Amino acid sequence: MHYRLYSLVDITNTRQYQNTAEMRQARNQQQNFDTVIQTIGMRANITYDSPPKVTVDVPSTYGLEGNELASIWIFEWRCEREFLFLDGTDHVGYLKQLFKLVPYIPNLTETTPSELSVFMPGKNIVFEMLV
């Protein structure tokens, strides 16, 4: 199955694994990306062809909160089994449950500040199953 997420949180895959003062932002971005991968990984083994891409658009276009231009990260992945995230009739229902209130590192390059540094499905992260 093929899935996509849209996020207002900076989940750039920097591949920075050492926490040095001059690379702190890149390390924090990588930690947010790792959080996404590990959270999805609680339910599925995934593969992906490319790292998250960032675009600037109106968040509400993607089902996110906000009507002014903002940075939006887009990430696509696949998993080996069908319907792993199906909850009732919602094909991404379990993804929403997995990500609800998962903390992230704020104040990186995102343009939409948040009072709480946690993922909130429907507000700062949205999922879809691709056909």
3-state DSSP assignment of residue 28? helix
Q: How confident is the model over 45-67, as a mean pLDDT?
A: 96
- Is 96 in a helix, a strand, or coil? helix
Give the per-residue pLDDT at 115.
87
Q: Lowest mean pLDDT of 25-34, 39-48, 107-116, name the range.
A: 107-116
What pTM did the predictor assign? Answer: 0.94
CA distances from 46 to 19, 58, 115 (A): 26, 28, 31
Mean pLDDT on 62-72: 95
User: Which residue is associated with the tokens 């009507």?
Assistant: 67
State how far the Cα of 125 lies from the Cα of 131, in Å rounded to an integer: 20
Helix (H, G, I), strand (E, B) or coil at 53: strand
Q: How confident is the model at residue 99 (pLDDT cuts 50, 70, 90)?
A: very high
CB atoms within 10 A of CB 83: 11
